[in-house]
Amino acid sequence: MSAAFSAPILGISRTARIAKVNTAFLFPGQGAQRPGMLHELVDDPAVDLTLEEISDILKSDVRLLDSPGALNSTVSVQLALLTSGVATARALQRRGVICCAVAGLSVGAFAAAVVAEAITLKDAVILVCSRAEKMEKLYPVGYGLAAIVGLNERQITAIVDSLHTATTPVFVGNINAPRQIVIAGSIEGMQKVLEEACRHGARKAELLHVSVPSHCPLLASVADSLRLQLNSMQLKAPKYPYIANVNARAVRSASAVATDLADNIAHGVRWRDATIVAEELGCNLFLEMPPGHALTDLAKENVPGVTASVVTTDLFRHVLRLAAA
């Protein structure tokens, strides 16, 4: 198959084709979910096989996890995102799209590791279930994430440090872009930070639809548990460079992938740096697995020289036309 994608499908204005495409697969994290997401996946045998495989592992139909009620559960959300990411990436690969690097945000890292063949899908399902269950039990209410747009890391760190207390903890989490940063912690503590951020000129400061304080020290015990589980699993060196969450490095060993899968839940994510590393690896097309679009938007902001797109049904149909050409 030709590895060229037409400009209209990818939403760029110029009428051109990419002569040499090096594709990065991006996998979104919690917050990207939406009802019906597993019923809107591209039509391909690889998707059906992946859904069946995960259903067999869970001993129940994975398609039940995308109802509005089910998505109130962190466990359902994270499993649905893992399923969507792996199924779509496998469909693309089956149709001849060559992956040059993988990067997943938060729980998306597990899908990235599966697609890179560093970990089996069964082990990823086991880990994601355990991870989500422990996150939910630790902080069932009163905690989560919030996003601030318009201030830089130094400014937000200063605000967070001034307002963090033992009773209302709050931490800097993900650095998604130079002026798009996620904080984590207690809702009370985050609301104070959001108010102060607005006073300092933030364009946007709001709580996110995530009910757990991911990527901060509050979840250190979850990271410890994942590390123990990973020690008992047989991981392999990734087939493609795996761009880590915690340090944004392209790692190529099984041990480095395992470390990132365990540790990212208790550390901030350097996502801006991860996208830059993907470009430095030679990736000039970033494809985001459904149901998200935030990683596509961030790629366009962080590395303007690349083309980025969500894998929609239209884009996938275009892949099929190229394969038949």
User: Largest Cα–Cα distance in the chain?
Assistant: 62
Phi first, then psi: what are they for 235, rounded to 5°? -90, 160
Residues that are catalytic: 106, 215
Closest CA to 216 of 157, 276, 295: 157
Which amino acid type is present at position 48? D
| Pairing relationship of beta strands 242-243 and 99-104 according to DSSP bridges | parallel
For the four alpha carbons of 170, 187, 109 and 309, in that order, the dihedral sign comes to negative
Closest CA to 111 of 209, 35, 32: 32
In the block, tokens 């990736």 appear at 283
Structure tokens at 315: 């884009």
DSSP string covering 3-50 = ---BHHHHT-SS--B-SS--EEEEE--TT---TTGGGSS---HHHHHH
